Copies of this chain bind each other. A is one copy, B any other.
Amino acid sequence: LASAQSNRQDPLPSWNEGTVKSTIIKFVQQVSTEGSPYFVPAAERIATFDNDGTLWAEQPLYFQAIFAIDQVNEKAADHPQWRQEEPFKSAITGDIAGIMATGMEGLGKIIAASHANLTADEFRTSVRHWLASARHPQTDTLFTDLIYQPMLELLQYLRAHDFKTFIVSGGGIDFIRVFSEDTYGIPPEQVIGTTSEAKYEVINGIPTIVKTPNIILVDDKDGKPVGIYRHIGRRPIFAAGNSDGDKQMLEYTTLPHGSDDQTPRLGLIIHHTDAKREWAYDRQSDIGKLDKALDESRQHNWAVVNMKKDWRQVFPKAR
Contacts and interface: CB of A to CB of B under 8 A. Distances in A.
Interface string A184-210: 000111110001001110100111010
Interface stretch (A59-67, A129-137, A224-232): A224-232
B226 A209 contact: yes
- Contact residue range for chain A? 35 or more
Nearest to A257: B206
A126 interface: no
Nearest to A209: B229
Interface in A166-197: 173-174, 177, 181, 187-191, 195
A273 interface: no
Contacts of A174: 233
Contact of A120 (B190, B199, B229): B229
B181 A199 contact: no
B233 A173 contact: yes
Interface stretch (A14-22, A154-162, A247-255, A311-319): A247-255
B222 A199 contact: yes
Nearest to A195: B230
B207 A255 contact: yes
A189 B252 contact: no
A258 interface: yes
A234 interface: yes
A202 to B, nearest CB: 7
A219 to B, nearest CB: 12
Interface of A: 43, 46, 120-121, 164, 173-174, 177, 181, 187-191, 195, 198-200, 202, 205-207, 209, 216, 222-223, 225-226, 229-235, 248, 251-252, 255-258
Given A188-B234, A189-B233, A200-B225, 16 more contacts: A43-B181, A43-B187, A173-B233, A188-B232, A189-B234, A191-B233, A198-B226, A200-B229, A202-B251, A206-B257, A206-B258, A207-B225, A207-B235, A207-B257, A209-B226, A231-B231
